[in-house]
């Protein structure tokens, strides 16, 4: 009996990232493996008396279209990035003619504006009574919902969803559920820019999740997922927006991919330790819901952070699920780890590569920890992706996966 036709589509994407803002610039940078890793310079990212952290920062500030200058004066970096990404995704999907009461918004991420809060506290440490009244809104993650719904007239619903580094992908999966349930006809999922301060960076490096100072003198070499010399993730600013709709629900401009299936599992573990069992279960769950086998997958976009243990466990799960034959690269090797944004950014990278028929290189993969996989190495390769799997993991034992098919 033939499988039922896929129900849900990705019909628009928007991206702002350190390597390039806008889907064309982003894809071009990916395919050329153009990175933006350097010592970070944003105020609030330097710990007093310590060497700067390595990461990738968006040049300047995103300039979203159509936002009054007065509103932008109180918009955080995270809000500006969300407005820019949602705007591009909105235009890409052609949403101007959709009833605004039938459009919903999910912002993936929590505690996403820490650097802004640190700077506000520092500015007003000796005169707290002069704090801006708008701080009463801007310290909340829902401020991004307010900005985006006001500018784009969204009236269906808006909410935030936190899932650590899996937040961006979880937002996409929540968007599918919102459309499936009939709550809205169109749902926009945002992987929010997590604007970390030096406090978060110090803690993440201290726990061994973020890369050490080993490559402080050579930032270009610091981010190296799946390489033997990796020693943790390298932060990269990014924000991605994905539009989800039911297939055939309207005259869609040019869909990217069908969403075949997905899965989310929990490892019952507060700590950041990855779980082989949890990752195997989430891969198997996504394949089962999609109605495909491992043999049908011809491309994997992994979580691939550069974590010493996490990369080993992830490849172990892919191997156990029979996915060593699929082409594989690591988007974070070029973009850095966007934390709450990562899952959405990597789904966007996946569908853009599908459309282009090319796969981007994996930077710094000099000595792969497992040579049994079909790696995309230092050069982009031609490859017509038909069915892809993208993985996204988060602290507290969250594993998520989505299966996509080229439209």
CATH number at residue 59: 3.40.47.10
Query: Residue 160 is encoded by which pair of tokens?
Result: 């935030």
The average pLDDT across 143-147 equals 95
- DSSP string over 95-131: -TTS-GGGEEEEEE-SS--HHHHHHHHHHTTT-GGG-
Residues 217 and 347 reside in one and the same domain: no
- Quote the pLDDT of residue 273: 83
The average pLDDT across 204-217 equals 92
The average pLDDT across 51-66 equals 89
**Is residue 209 assigned to a domain?**
yes
Q: Which residues contact 225 (CB under 8 A, 6 or more apart)?
A: 302, 304, 305, 306, 311, 330, 332, 333, 362, 365
Residue 290 CA to residue 360 CA, distance in Å, equals 25
Residue 236 is inside which H or E element, if any? Answer: strand 235-236
- Computed over every residue of the chain, the mean pLDDT equals 95
- Quote the pLDDT of residue 4: 66
Residues 186 and 327 reside in one and the same domain: no
Residues 145 and 218 reside in one and the same domain: yes
Query: Residue 313 is encoded by which pair of tokens?
Result: 């466990």
Residues 176 and 39 reside in one and the same domain: yes
Per-residue pLDDT for 146 more than 70?
yes
Phi, psi of 23 (to 5 degrees): -65, -35
Residues 233 and 299 reside in one and the same domain: no
- Quote the pLDDT of residue 180: 97
Instruction: Give the closest residue to 370 by CA, choosing from 291, 304, 295, 298.
Output: 304
Q: How many domains does the chain have?
A: 2
Residue 375 CA to residue 16 CA, distance in Å, equals 26
Residues 198 and 275 reside in one and the same domain: no
The CA-to-CA distance between both ends of the chain, in Å, stands at 22
Instruction: Answer with the one of 246, 268, 296 that is the final residue of a domain.
Output: 246
**Is residue 271 assigned to a domain?**
yes
Query: How much is the pTM?
Result: 0.96
Pick from 45-49, 82-86, 279-283, 344-348: least confident = 45-49
**Is residue 273 assigned to a domain?**
yes
Q: Is 372 exposed, middle or buried (0-12, 13-18, 19+ CB in 10 A)?
A: exposed
Token look-up 């007003």 returns: 124
Instruction: Give the closest residue to 401 by CA, choosing from 291, 245, 306, 280.
Output: 280
Please report, for residues 145, 254, 402, the alpha-carbon distance to residue 39 in angstroms, rounded to integers and kept in the order given.
Answer: 31, 39, 33
Residues 264 and 242 reside in one and the same domain: no
Residue 83 CA to residue 66 CA, distance in Å, equals 10
**Is residue 254 assigned to a domain?**
no
**Is residue 255 assigned to a domain?**
no
Residue 404 CA to residue 277 CA, distance in Å, equals 23
Instruction: Answer with the one of 246, 279, 308 that is the final residue of a domain.
Output: 246
Residue 18 CA to residue 34 CA, distance in Å, equals 10
**Is residue 26 assigned to a domain?**
yes
Residues 234 and 268 reside in one and the same domain: no
Neighbours of 43 (CB within 10 A): 10
Q: What is the pLDDT of residues 304-332, one digit of tens each?
A: 999 999 999 999 999 999 999 999 999 99
Instruction: Answer with the one of 201, 217, 246 that is the final residue of a domain.
Output: 246
Q: How confident is the model at residue 1 (pLDDT cuts 50, 70, 90)?
A: very low
Q: How confident is the model at residue 3 (pLDDT cuts 50, 70, 90)?
A: low
Q: How confident is the model at residue 390 (pLDDT cuts 50, 70, 90)?
A: very high
Residues 126 and 236 reside in one and the same domain: yes
Per-residue pLDDT for 234 more than 50?
yes
Per-residue pLDDT for 11 more than 80?
yes
Q: Which residues contact 150 (CB under 8 A, 6 or more apart)?
A: none
Residues 220 and 290 reside in one and the same domain: no
Residues 268 and 230 reside in one and the same domain: no
Phi, psi of 153 (to 5 degrees): 70, 20
**Is residue 349 assigned to a domain?**
yes
**Is residue 264 assigned to a domain?**
yes
Residues 220 and 330 reside in one and the same domain: no
The average pLDDT across 188-210 equals 96
The average pLDDT across 298-304 equals 98
Q: What share of the chain is helix, strand, coil (3-state, %, to 5)?
A: 35, 20, 45
Phi, psi of 299 (to 5 degrees): -155, 135
Q: How confident is the model at residue 131 (pLDDT cuts 50, 70, 90)?
A: confident
- DSSP string over 313-382: HHHHHHHHTT-TTSEE--THHHH-B-GGGHHHHHHHHHHHHHHHTEE---TT-SSBS-TTSEE--SS-EE
Domain that holds residue 288: 260-406
Partner residues linked to 37 by β-bridges = 56
- Quote the pLDDT of residue 139: 86
Q: What is the pLDDT of residues 12-45, one digit of tens each?
A: 999 999 999 999 999 999 999 999 999 999 999 9
Partner residues linked to 104 by β-bridges = 157, 187
Per-residue pLDDT for 2 more than 60?
no
Residue 254 is inside which H or E element, if any? Answer: none
Angle between helix axes 276-290 and 308-320 (nearest 10 degrees) is: 40
Per-residue pLDDT for 61 more than 50?
yes
């Amino acid at each position: 009996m033939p499988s039922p036709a896929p129900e849900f589509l990705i019909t628009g994407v928007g991206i702002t990232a350190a390597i390039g803002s806008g889907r064309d610039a982003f894809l071009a940078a990916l395919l050329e493996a153009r990175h933006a890793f350097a010592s970070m310079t944003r105020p609030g990212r330097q710990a007093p008396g310590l060497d700067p952290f390595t990461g990738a920062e968006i040049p300047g500030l995103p300039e979203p279209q159509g936002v009054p200058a007065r509103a932008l004066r109180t918009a955080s970096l995270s809000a500006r990035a969300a407005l820019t990404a949602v705007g591009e995704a909105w235009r890409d999907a052609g949403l101007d003619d959709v009833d605004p009461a039938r459009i919903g918004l999910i912002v993936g991420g929590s505690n996403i504006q820490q650097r802004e809060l640190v700077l506000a506290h520092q500015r007003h440490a000796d005169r707290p009574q002069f704090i801006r009244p708008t701080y009463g809104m801007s310290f909340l993650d829902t401020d991004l919902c307010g900005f985006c719904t006001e500018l784009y007239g969204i009236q269906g619903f808006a909410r935030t969803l936190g899932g650590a580094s899996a937040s961006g992908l979880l937002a996409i999966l929540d968007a599918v559920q919102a459309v499936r349930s009939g709550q809205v006809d169109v749902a926009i999922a945002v992987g929010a820019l997590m604007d970390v301060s030096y406090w978060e960076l110090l803690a993440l490096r201290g726990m061994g999740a973020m890369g050490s100072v080993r490559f402080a003198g050579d930032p270009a070499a610091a981010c190296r997922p799946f390489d033997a010399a990796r020693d943790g993730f390298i932060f990269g600013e990014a924000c991605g927006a994905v539009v989800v709709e039911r297939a055939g629900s309207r005259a869609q401009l040019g869909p990217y991919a069908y969403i075949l299936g997905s899965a989310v599992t929990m490892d019952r573990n507060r700590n950041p330790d990855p779980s082989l069992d949890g990752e195997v279960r989430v891969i198997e769950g996504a394949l089962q819901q999609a109605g495909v086998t491992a043999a049908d997958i011809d491309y994997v976009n992994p979580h691939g952070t550069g974590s010493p243990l996490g990369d080993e466990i992830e490849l172990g799960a892919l191997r156990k699920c029979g996915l060593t034959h699929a082409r594989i690269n690591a988007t974070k090797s070029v973009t850095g780890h966007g934390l709450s944004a990562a899952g959405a950014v990597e789904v966007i990278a996946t569908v853009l590569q599908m459309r282009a028929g090319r796969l981007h290189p994996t930077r710094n993969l000099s000595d792969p920890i497992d040579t049994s996989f079909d790696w995309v190495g230092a050069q982009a390769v031609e490859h017509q992706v038909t069915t892809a799997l993208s993985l996204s993991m988060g602290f507290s034992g969250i594993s998520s996966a989505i299966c996509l098919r080229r439209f």
